[in-house]
Structure 1
Amino acid sequence: MTTALHDSDDRGAPAPVTLTWPGDRRLPEDARTALCGPGAPFERTTEDVLGTPVEVFARRSPNLAAQLAHARATTPDLPYLVFDGPEPRTVTFAEAYRLAAAYAEVLAGRHGIGKGDRVAVAAPNTLEYVLAYWATVSLGAILVGLNGWWTPAEMDHGLALTEPALVLGSGAPMERASATPWSGTAGVPHVPLEELHAAATGLADPPGALPGVAVDEDDPAAIMFTSGTTGRPKGATISHRNFVFFNQHGALGGATTALLDGHRYRQVPDGAQRASLIVSPLFHVSGAGVTMAVAPMAGLKLVFPGPGRWDPERALRLTHEHGITQWSGVPTHFWRMLAHPDFASFRTAQVTMVGSGGAIFPPELMRHVRETMPGVQLGNGYGMTETLGTGTLCTGSLLEEHPGSVGAAVPTVRVQVREDGRPLPEGEVGEIHIQGPGVFLGYWRDPEATAGVLDAERWYRTGDYGRIEDGLLYLESRIRDLILRGGENIYPIEIEYRLVEHPEIVEAAVVGVPDRVLGREVKAYVVREEGSALTAEGVREWAAQTLAAFKVPAHVEFRDALPYNETGKVMKRRLEEEHAAGPR
């Protein structure tokens, strides 16, 4: 199976390759016509997007507000938002539309929020946060998602950069946002979300519809901050088009997988509502994308755990109580749920999909899921904040056959691996580039950084290394993670893959540490199975069975857990800093 386009090369040199969606080649002709043919739901065409031709879906919502209106018209009485806690709350799609309209009237009438204004939110995931999100984007304003774990100094950076007209929030995040120098000098109101909710629900004559503001699909909808692994966080500006595309590519991809692989996996019964457990914060692409784009168009019920850190028992209980049909998260979440001593007492037979986007599925975890939950379909995607999480996807039989891959390009997206701006042939390692409707508008008020990652044809330079083989993308490493050891390039992810295949290793992270002779040397941080007596020498022997000698970790440090950020990524910079600081 090939799912890549090879350009001709008259000189006989290996031809450069561009990944495109494989569904056009994998689907039977009648199914492809029904899904993607003229007049079909997923018909595609090429249009001008911000000055460059881009393949898009011909039939799409004009903006985010239209998607919530669609949900009110088609699934008004289905549960949309469920919040666990001491006082559980459930809101239907119709109720969410009505409340969002009231929120919008308060934002516009009492706070003067209009098109192009920024509304910052510093809060945990709450009903009020979701409703404020809908109200903001329906006014043509821009939702600024402040990271709820930021320090006051980091909050200050985010606020000073975006200069919101209003700051909303609750709890500790709001306290930190209110303690910044910017907050003390800008004179911008800080309004508790609970106060906004009271004002909206107390309107004497609440509106019957969202405001009729003209919002173009390429208008900004949100500013999401990068994780800041290579410096101060930048504000990625996400458009309405990006959000709408987030749902459409997933819907077509899901329909394609069902046609090709549906007989192999569990299915949601006809008439049953799909339900997802939301573990990602709303300031992150996974949380916002599913909540604002997927759920309204798919009639998906979203269950939000209560306040506090993620807990495997709570996740299992909510899966049991609310009939969760799909889990999303990172491998750590799934390891901990499957390892829970009471796992068998919770109802999980209705779970049809387990998906990840923050890290590759270790082979041992894939085996464990298949053994513990037979018939569950696994999926893993590759994307980033700047593409609203879209890029490639590996799911179903494709993931089983190519577990080390992050998959093929999603519909309408093109992927290339480049060196010095030149697309490379199959098998060669280079920097991954992505083009498509999910690519962001640019970094807020940072044209230099934007120019550094977006070319004239809106190809996004990801900063990740990878290679293309037989129509699939394989990650090698982030460029900043590359270890240069004595002239050899070492990609940590290859070593990490090998280590987690050990039956006594739960997790592993590999970084480069200073070495006087070689420049950098390989160090592995390893989390062992409980009760394991595995030694550092045992780790090295395991790695040496399949890896070249220069890739075998020179240093091994055992940890009870690895440090993760709020998006589920290992904080390798912290590990490097801790190594530099000396023994713990």
Structure 2
Amino acid sequence: MFLDFAGRTFTYRQTKDRAVEMARGLRALGVRAGDRVVTQLRNSEDVIFAWFGANLLGAVWVPINTAYRGEFLRHQIVDAGAEVVICEAEYADALLNVALPSVRAILVRGAEAPCPDDRVHSLEAYRITEGDSLEHATTPSDLTCLLYTSGTTGPSKGCMISTNYLCNMGYLSNLAVPPLPNERTWTCSPMFHLSALGGIAATLLNQGSISIAEQFSVSKFWSEIERSGATTALLISPTFHWLADAEDTPEMLRCFGQLRTVIGSVGPEMEHVWRSRFGVQYMNRCAYGQTEGVWLTLTPADATDVPPNSVGRICEDFDVRIVDDNDVQLPDGQRGEIVFRPKRPNIMFAGYWNRPEDTIKVWRNMWMHTGDIGYIENGYLFFVDRKKDYLRSRGENISSFEIERTYQQHPSISAAAVYSVAEGVEEGEIKVSVVLCEGATLSCEELCTWSIENLPYFAVPRYFEIRDELIRTPTGKIQKYLLRAEGVTETTWDRVAQGINVRRT
């Protein structure tokens, strides 16, 4: 077996056959080598079939976050220049509500075409079971997908990911935790996240199997682990705490020691909890990378000499340095920007899609500039802080730029600033401060309701504030560091305090 989706299993041969069926359907729609195929799908077997099917044609797969709508959605599809989109039935209306001039076909999964738009078709009609086998000779440099960044300093950019990039990512993951025979991995990571794709690559390389859940559930986690027989789990940071805080269940007790390895970012205290309470042997928590290149650090899961607070030992596949603002290398222990470059071809991103000027900005003096601050000691990398203006909420990296652009579409808002304020939690909480148009009236509660309707669930701020003006420089730029320093003030409206919680729909 290769794939398991809630008990729907597929062997390696069956997976290839389904991918070929999908490829024939895409070809019937005119998809050719180099074209981009967008998917906006929940975790399911069809995500894999669409990905592999597009690549069988030499086309490039573009997975998009299922929570995206409006400008978030439009920007990535238009930027990719995609002509075909595959989506869940309930997402079709959101696609049709934005201008997508390049899109000529929308394949809807799970239902018949929901509207008379002649671009919309049922996905089932394009699973073509008869025809040639579509063997495609892939080279290491061929693009397998575009993965869009979170757009923390501007519009999100498509990272060009090659076949060899993902293969190397899987290889390094297996190097850190050598797989057992018949290893089975469990993950709920969305298939538009790099971590999930790395899990697929690692599984393919070790000829194992992977069980993929549609979404995470505390109440169902241990029953899923028991049902699937998983020996490795790939999780995001918040889930470690949610499971540790949950009460014992019969399924949890029966699964003690079943999970040999858990991969994710946790601190030493949480690692101890998982080892002692759940019987986990290896916690692969020391790693550093970004969509542009992974893994820059690699630490064997059974290592016992890892310095506290480090993000792991620098991987032999990459040169990693710390430099000052003039790109001069700094000595061990001194803080500066983390830069890197590959020692082998096609193991990092191939640049930003259709944005050579942005690629040049980060690829200076033959080094990739991460925008992160850190230092190196005895071959170990230590992460200090991010230079980029970014947000993180519920395990998602979020573009403040794109959220602000959404707020600026509100007819009553003349200016908006979105930023994170610390509230004693690892990721902080999102706050939005807005200035209203002259003569406009709008309450924070009304703005909250509008936000829920127009933003992905994980991007809805907790805190809202209506101000007379935003703090700006003499040249008119918003000084977010001063807004962050203000934090939660007496005039800040707290969504949670008002009993309004936002969940995935």
Question: Which of 244, 253, 275 is equivalent to 2:184?
Answer: 275
2:220 paired residue number: 314
Question: How has the CA–CA distance of structure 1 residues 523 and 282 changed in structure 2, closer, same or farther, with 3 Å as cutoff?
Answer: closer
TM-aligned CA deviation for residue 349 of structure 1: 1.5
2:281 paired residue number: 376
Question: Which of 166, 175, 189 is equivalent to 2:105?
Answer: 189
Q: Is the 8 A contact 2:333 2:377 kept in 1?
A: yes
1:234 aligned onto 2:143:
no
2:26 paired residue number: 107
Identify the range of structure 1 (399-408 vs 143-152) with the bigger mean alpha-carbon deviation: 399-408
TM-aligned CA deviation for residue 335 of structure 1: 1.7
Unaligned runs of 5+ in 2: 111-120, 396-419, 427-454, 465-482, 495-505
Q: Is the 8 A contact 2:463 2:492 kept in 1?
A: no
Give the alignment's Cα RMSD to 1 decimal: 3.3
Q: Deviations over 1:204-234 (max 9, x none)?
A: x344x3x233433212221111122333211
Identify the range of structure 1 (186-195 vs 275-284) with the bigger mean alpha-carbon deviation: 186-195
Q: Is the 8 A contact 1:103 1:196 kept in 2?
A: no
1:287 aligned onto 2:196:
yes
1:121 paired residue number: 39
TM-aligned CA deviation for residue 439 of structure 1: 1.5
Q: Deviations over 1:359-417 (max 9, x none)?
A: 4x222212212221345111122111111x42112343436642311111234222111
Question: Which of 80, 85, 101 is equivalent to 2:2?
Answer: 80
1:429 aligned onto 2:352:
no
- 1:532-543 aligned within 5 A: none
TM-aligned CA deviation for residue 95 of structure 1: 0.4
1:299 paired residue number: 207
1:198 aligned onto 2:117:
no
The one-letter amino acid of 1:251's match is: N
Q: Which has the higher contact order (CA 8 A, sep 6+)?
A: 1
Partners of 1:430 and 1:571 lie apart in 2 by 32
What's the secondary structure of 2:3's corresponding residue? Answer: strand
- 1:374-523 aligned within 5 A: 374=279, 376-380=281-285, 381-387=287-293, 389-398=294-303, 401-419=306-324, 420-436=326-342, 437-455=346-364, 457=366, 459-480=367-388
TM-aligned CA deviation for residue 118 of structure 1: 0.6
Identical positions, percent: 23
What's the secondary structure of 1:113's corresponding residue? Answer: coil
TM-aligned CA deviation for residue 125 of structure 1: 1.3
The one-letter amino acid of 1:445's match is: N
The one-letter amino acid of 1:297's match is: L
TM-aligned CA deviation for residue 166 of structure 1: 0.9
What's the secondary structure of 2:262's corresponding residue? Answer: strand
Question: How has the CA–CA distance of structure 1 residues 337 and 304 changed in structure 2, closer, same or farther, with 3 Å as cutoff?
Answer: same
What's the secondary structure of 1:181's corresponding residue? Answer: coil
Partners of 1:568 and 1:412 lie apart in 2 by 35
Q: Deviations over 1:540-578 (max 9, x none)?
A: xxxxxxxxxxxxxxxxxxxxxxxxx99999999999598
What's the secondary structure of 2:39's corresponding residue? Answer: strand
2:171 paired residue number: 248
Partners of 1:438 and 1:579 lie apart in 2 by 43
- 1:89-238 aligned within 5 A: 89-108=8-27, 110-182=28-100, 185-186=101-102, 188-193=104-109, 198-199=124-125, 201=127, 203=129, 205-207=130-132, 209=133, 211-238=134-161
Partners of 1:319 and 1:123 lie apart in 2 by 23
The one-letter amino acid of 1:433's match is: V
The one-letter amino acid of 2:95's match is: A
The one-letter amino acid of 2:270's match is: L
Identify the range of structure 1 (120-129 vs 391-400) with the bigger mean alpha-carbon deviation: 391-400
The one-letter amino acid of 1:80's match is: F
What's the secondary structure of 2:423's corresponding residue? Answer: strand
Partners of 1:417 and 1:179 lie apart in 2 by 46
The one-letter amino acid of 1:232's match is: P
Question: How has the CA–CA distance of structure 1 residues 172 and 402 changed in structure 2, closer, same or farther, with 3 Å as cutoff?
Answer: farther
Q: Deviations over 1:216-268 (max 9, x none)?
A: 3212221111122333211111111211211222333434xxxxxxxxxxx85
The one-letter amino acid of 1:146's match is: I
The one-letter amino acid of 2:194's match is: V
Greater share of residues in helix: 1
Q: Is the 8 A contact 2:259 2:280 kept in 1?
A: no
Q: Is the 8 A contact 1:433 1:461 kept in 2?
A: yes
1:355 aligned onto 2:263:
yes
Q: Deviations over 1:103-154 (max 9, x none)?
A: 112211x111111101111111111111010011121111111121112211
Q: Is the 8 A contact 1:280 1:567 kept in 2?
A: no
- 1:53-68 aligned within 5 A: none
Unaligned runs of 5+ in 1: 1-78, 256-266, 483-491, 493-506, 508-521, 529-564
1:526 aligned onto 2:424:
yes
The alignment covers a number of residue pairs equal to 403
The one-letter amino acid of 2:187's match is: I
Q: Is the 8 A contact 1:432 1:464 kept in 2?
A: yes
Identify the range of structure 1 (173-182 vs 566-575) with the bigger mean alpha-carbon deviation: 566-575
Q: Is the 8 A contact 1:379 1:393 kept in 2?
A: no
Partners of 1:132 and 1:201 lie apart in 2 by 10
1:35 paired residue number: none
Q: Is the 8 A contact 1:117 1:141 kept in 2?
A: yes
Question: How has the CA–CA distance of structure 1 residues 174 and 376 changed in structure 2, closer, same or farther, with 3 Å as cutoff?
Answer: farther
Identify the range of structure 1 (161-170 vs 369-378) with the bigger mean alpha-carbon deviation: 369-378
